[in-house]
Amino acid sequence: MFKKLLYITSIILLLQTNFASAGMENEELKKSKSKDTASECFEGFSRVMFKFNQGLDGAIFEPVAKGYRSLPIFLRKGTGNVVDNLRSLLTLSNNLLQGDFAKAGNTAGRFAVNTTVGVLGIFDPASALGLEENGKEDFGQTIGVWGSQSGCYFVLPILGPTTLRDSVGLVGNMFLDPVYQITHNNNMAERSYSEHNYWYYRSTGAVDFRAKNIESFNSLENNSIDIYASVKSLYLQNRNKKILNSKSVVETQEDSDWEIIDTE
């Protein structure tokens, strides 16, 4: 696994990263809003993919999210908690890679408490014990913390907006995510799960996110002159804010309007 991660990281290093100036890059990121913009790799293709994703969302994802929303709130809350609890394992891996051992300890503590006392993560007793969630981390954020610039922006089918750095991070996430490793481990002596379980978990998380943000998506679509440009701006600002662990407001939308912008 670590050899694969090393290979992935090497790709992005060769493409764009100068780690010798990592500290300077992070300082500049704090001082300049130019980091909230990125050049387009192939805007024509990205706009076509964006339209395709919009159509797919209207035909499938939004109706499914609305159906999910009709479920009792305690059931949706419990489902969301379970997904978040499993997702915290990926955050833990990236806390460690970023050298943030305080947050790693907090994340590990939350997972241990919520998995046991919280009945596999259905409930969140960890927060009541003072172990507050510090936000999700992924490999795209990690290589950003290491000093990588975002690279150009583009849109992927189904997966949506991303950058060169974050697309490499998407691949790295699979190797870092213990849930992926367990469900795809063919050497386990007794398997009561399969790789399909990983995709069920990811799909459930996507539906839960979409259901929590129906009004936010609609508001963005109704109030944007160019929704493609608005989504791009929101995505880049949010990703840079996460890398800096900033609590500032994303200018395109208020933070309270969104449950989370996630690219895991």
Q: Indicate the domain borders of the chain.
A: 1-6+37-69+149-176+213-259
- Provide the sign of the torsion angle of the four alpha carbons 31, 9, 198, 162, taken in this order: positive
The model scores a pTM over 0.75:
yes
Phi first, then psi: give them for residue 188, nearest 5 degrees.
-65, 135
């590990």: which residue's tokens?
108
Report the C-alpha dihedral over residues 114, 79, 159, 186, rounded to 10 degrees.
70
pLDDT-based confidence at 119, cuts 50/70/90?
very high
pLDDT on residue 11: 46
- Look at residue 245 in the predicted model and tell me its pLDDT: 82
Distance CA 84, CA 121 (A): 8
- 88 neighbors 134 (Cβ within 8 angstroms): no
Predicted confidence (pLDDT) at residue 192 exceeds the cutoff of 70: no
Q: Which residue has the higher pLDDT, 259 or 193?
A: 193
Give the residue-averaged pLDDT of 145-149: 93
Say which amino acid occupies 89.
Answer: L
Cα dihedral 105, 109, 77, 58, rounded to 10, equals: 30
Residue in 16, 11, 33, 50 with CA at minimum distance from that of residue 147: 16
Q: Could you report the per-residue pLDDT of 18-38, keeping only the tens digit for each?
A: 433 334 444 444 444 555 678
The answer to whether the beta carbons of residues 49 and 155 sit under 8 Å apart is yes
pLDDT at 174 over 70: yes
Q: Residue 71 above 60 pLDDT?
A: yes
pLDDT digits (tens, 9 = 90+) for 218-256: 999 999 999 999 999 999 999 999 998 865 544 444 444
The span from the CA of 46 to the CA of 163, in Å, is: 11
The predicted structure's pLDDT at residue 264: 55
Structure tokens at 115: 């998995």
Q: Once rounded to an integer, what is the mean pLDDT over residues 51-58?
A: 96
E strand or H helix at 248, and its extent? none
- How far is 71 from 16, CA to CA, in rounded Å? 46
Say whether pLDDT at 70 is over 80: yes
Each residue's pLDDT tens digit, 197-209: 899 999 999 999 9
User: Above 70 in pLDDT, residue 39?
Assistant: yes
- Phi first, then psi, for residue 154 (nearest 5°) are -155, 170
Whole-number Å distance between alpha carbons of 240 and 218: 24
According to the model, what pLDDT value does residue 36 have?
Answer: 67
Average pLDDT over residues 150-154: 95
Could you tell me if 94 and 141 are in contact, meaning their C-beta atoms sit under 8 angstroms apart?
Answer: yes
